[in-house]
Amino acid sequence: MTTFAQALAAAVAQLRAADVPDPATDARALLAHATGIAPDRLTLHLAEAALADDLGRFAALVGRRAAREPVSHLIGYRLFWGRRFAVTRDVLDPRPETETLVAAALLAPFSRVLDLGTGSGCILLSLLADRAGAAGLGVDLSLAALTVARANAAALGLDARASFACGTWFAPVSGRFDLIVSNPPYIAADEMAALSPEVCLHEPHIGLTPGGDGLAAYRALAAGLAAHLAPRGRVLLEIGPTQGRPVSALLNGAGFVTKILPDLDGRDRVVAAHLPEQG
């Protein structure tokens, strides 16, 4: 007889041997998923004997995690801003540092949101869920990513207020928005080799890097923002921690006033921008 506690201990050891970060947390998440037990109830069941089917599912998941497949891909979702978002290999994992952008966006009113490079839709949908009456458009170059975003919108009951379009940055966009947000690909080509296996082997490179110095997306955004920003509108762009000054300079060159916002670790994370008021 194998108990859940014994299976969990063996899984933690296996993941630790594979150099998986935080193996205990990952093993618990996988065990809860394999057994259908709510994660916050798992401790209550650890002394129980595990069914063979549960052990088989758990072992398979642990093996894939030991090969550095992300937990979110194994269980099918990632928590972000207090909500569950479906993720696949076609979208980036929603990351805690991106919540810095969401928090900043919610500090002021908005009614029309444009999210460029929407991916899973986590930014756009988090904003709409917390701002009743607002509507938004998510744009992405990947049709597969938009399929994930639409499913997340439906799951959150936001499909009536969230629309999606396929294309490059502003190409499928018309009209003006009082809030424009983006978490574009910003990793420089020479930084890709340093990424964890979970990221470089399992997340879409189109969402990670534009190649070169990592600033190509910001150049494209800076060129098109003013034409789609409503009067007194705001822009919030996620950045890498060394990109605050160069991204601000690009936006300043396009006529914007900018401010760099830190994440909870004190690293530069978001460039906030607006056009100066006329008159």
pLDDT in tens, 187-246: 999 999 999 999 998 999 989 989 899 999 999 999 999 999 999 999 999 999 999 999
For the chain, the distance separating the N- and C-terminal CA atoms, rounded to the nearest angstrom, is 78
In whole angstroms, give the CA distance from residue 239 to residue 260.
Answer: 9
Question: Is it the case that residue 159 has pLDDT exceeding 90?
Answer: yes
| Residues contacting residue 278 through CB under 8 Å, at least 6 positions apart | none
Tokens of 69: 């497949």
In whole angstroms, give the CA distance from residue 133 to residue 276.
Answer: 27
In whole angstroms, give the CA distance from residue 54 to residue 41.
Answer: 16
Q: Classify domain 92-274 at the CATH topology level.
A: Rossmann fold (3.40.50)
Q: Show the CA angle centred on residue 66, arms to residues 60 and 69, nearest 5°.
A: 85
Question: Is it the case that residue 13 has pLDDT exceeding 70?
Answer: yes
Dihedral Cα 179, 185, 186, 191, nearest 10 deg:
160
Q: What is the pTM of this model?
A: 0.94
Q: What is the residue extent of each domain of the chain?
A: 4-67, 92-274
Q: Which of 158, 153, 111 is nearest to 134 (CA)?
A: 111
- Residue 1's pLDDT is 85
The tens digit of pLDDT for each residue in 61-114 reads: 999 999 999 999 999 999 999 999 999 999 999 999 999 999 999 999 999 999
Cβ-contact 116, 177 below 8 angstroms? no
Question: Is it the case that residue 279 has pLDDT exceeding 80?
Answer: no
Question: Is it the case that residue 161 has pLDDT exceeding 60?
Answer: yes
- Confidence band (pLDDT; 50, 70, 90) for 277? confident
Find how far residue 263's CA is from the centre of its chain.
Answer: 15
Mean pLDDT of all residues belonging to the chain: 96
Tokens of 20: 């998986």
229: number of Cβ within 10 Å:
21
> How many residues are recorded in the chain?
279
The tens digit of pLDDT for each residue in 22-67 reads: 999 999 999 999 999 999 999 999 999 999 999 999 999 999 999 9
Cβ-contact 260, 248 below 8 angstroms? yes
- Confidence band (pLDDT; 50, 70, 90) for 264? very high
Cβ-contact 165, 115 below 8 angstroms? no
